[in-house]
Amino acid sequence: MKKFLKHNGLLFLIAAAVIVADQLTKALVRQNLALGEAWSPIPAIGDFFRFLYWQNRGAAFGTLQNAGPILTIVRIAIVLFIIVFYQKAEIKDVLVKVSLSLMLGGALGNLVDQFTLGFVTDFIAVGRFPIFNVADSCVTIGVGLMLLDMIIKEKNGSEIDPEVKSGQDA
């Protein structure tokens, strides 16, 4: 058990923090804004940045609306892939661990909505960009950190750990 916690501590801690932040912010929005209602917290920039309560019945950024069960299956598969990959790969790079943890927390945060509400609560609106939420942000940041790690390793001429590449113990 101690080895399991040591190996997975960061994964579960970050994922749990993301889920809590995501669910708290979504609950605040649902309690304080009517569906379609917006609030602009920074009057000086007008409606460029606002909180807008929206029910997303599709994928990220409002794509694939009403795809329902298929998207739920895809989200579950992503969660399972991250967990299995994290268990099988000997990941030594903290940046990779953090990126996977953010992606896991974001995917689970949106799955909580999907299972409990039948839709994902979106509420962050910036300019004309599609409305998103904390979970979406964490998935995007996680992917960005993973790409950053690859770029840094390529620039430094270092190779990705063979264990991470193959997902098998050496």
Q: Would residue 93 be called left, alpha or beta, if left means φ above 0 and alpha means ψ between -120 and 50 degrees?
A: beta
Q: Give the separation between CA 147 and CA 158, rounded to whole angstroms.
A: 14
* Positions marked active-site: 122, 136
Angle at 138 between CA 142 and CA 23, to 5 degrees: 150
Q: Give the separation between CA 70 and CA 97, rounded to whole angstroms.
A: 28
